[in-house]
């Protein structure tokens, strides 16, 4: 079993992931050589805690359940930020596109988390294109 399959097996049982949070709503991020951004997530609290060193020293380990994660992944997809699965200290990451991860998480999520502007009944797949906010 490859590491991503192992990760998915574990989180499908626990229905949560672990992240590193600098302050409320501000999570650890990674960037690759091409400038692509990633949010690192771990399958266990202990693995996330081991990563809270160097650049992430002082970050708090926090959990996120699938209900909140499904909503958040929608936002990350819009912002073109993907997921780094249990990144190692050597800088190697295994990435999952946020949109694909959301498709996997959403059926496993309950409806316990809602944001005031949660319009999840209909996904916003509309392509606004360049200049969509310009005056008519």
Q: Where are the beta strands (DSSP E) in the chain?
A: 16-23, 26-27, 30-31, 37-41, 60-65, 81-85, 94-96
CA–CA distance from 29 to each of 94, 95, 99 (Å)?
14, 13, 17
Judged against a pLDDT cut of 80, whether residue 128 lies above it is answered with no
Model pTM?
0.79
**Which pLDDT does position 127 carry in this prediction?**
46
| pLDDT tens-place string over residues 85-122 | 988 766 678 999 999 999 999 999 988 877 655 454 45
Q: How far is CA 40 from the centre of its chain?
A: 7
What residue has token string 């944001």? 115
Question: Could you give all domains of the chain from N- to C-terminal order, each with its CATH number?
Answer: 3-108 (3.40.1350.90)
**Which pLDDT does position 131 carry in this prediction?**
46
| pLDDT tens-place string over residues 26-77 | 999 999 889 999 999 999 999 999 999 998 999 999 999 999 999 999 999 9
**Which pLDDT does position 60 carry in this prediction?**
96
């Amino acid at each position: 079993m490859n590491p991503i399959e192992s990760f998915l097996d574990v989180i499908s049982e626990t229905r949560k992931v672990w992240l590193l949070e600098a302050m409320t709503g501000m999570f650890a991020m990674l960037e690759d050589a091409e400038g692509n951004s990633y949010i690192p997530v771990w399958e266990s609290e202990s693995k996330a805690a081991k990563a809270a060193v160097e650049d992430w020293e002082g970050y708090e380990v926090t959990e996120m359940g699938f209900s909140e994660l499904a909503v958040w992944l929608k936002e990350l997809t819009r912002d073109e930020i993907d997921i780094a699965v249990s990144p190692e200290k050597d800088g190697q990451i295994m990435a999952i596109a946020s949109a694909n991860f959301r498709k996997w998480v959403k059926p496993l999520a309950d409806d316990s988390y809602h944001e005031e502007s949660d319009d999840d009944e209909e996904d916003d797949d509309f392509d606004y294109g360049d200049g969509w906010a310009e005056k008519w």
